[in-house]
Structure 1
């Protein structure tokens, strides 16, 4: 996790906000893990027996989905800007497959036309 930067430049604020987001995700992970470890009288996790009210889970999932979509874009921008692909161990386990599920992925595949559609095998690409 990046250390807090003492300056007040745009890059310092960016790095400080990035660190705050990382700490927030660590806190979410700890809270999630903590909830799954709360056991009942039968020694089973209560959350598995009682569940969680959909009003809460729906809102949480919507937020996570919105964040996930932005992170796909951010990772793609990083790769384009820096011309590199981050190490798989440092990223999300699904990062290697992110391009396939990424709605913002480049369409520059040889097997696709300008609209992202699969080109037919008999199409003359020289046109």
Structure 2
């Protein structure tokens, strides 16, 4: 797989438009997290955009959260994230999806992700 370069950028309309399908109604919250420095927006030339954040899952153990990502041929984005985590001692990568059926064969199995939970939400 060809190495990719992630370029940290500020929130912009082009990224918001590309990421729109991945927001699942959370665009305002994600935008605020990026603007406040709680999350990071990246442009990955020729592949798309990704929003990430680091979380402490227990003392001294960090997890990279792929908050939202979209574009074309996004596999190299995930491979890069895995390599960065391994080199920086980040223990795991987590993502949530509204389309697990689309990801199972094409993404999850290929990149070695395992299912750890299913989330259900009721809203009034």
Q: TM-score normalised to the size of structure 1?
A: 0.28
Higher helix share: 1
Higher strand share: 2
- Which structure is higher in RCO with an 8 Å CA cutoff and minimum separation 6? 2
Q: Which has the larger radius of gyration?
A: 1
Q: TM-score normalised to the size of structure 2?
A: 0.28
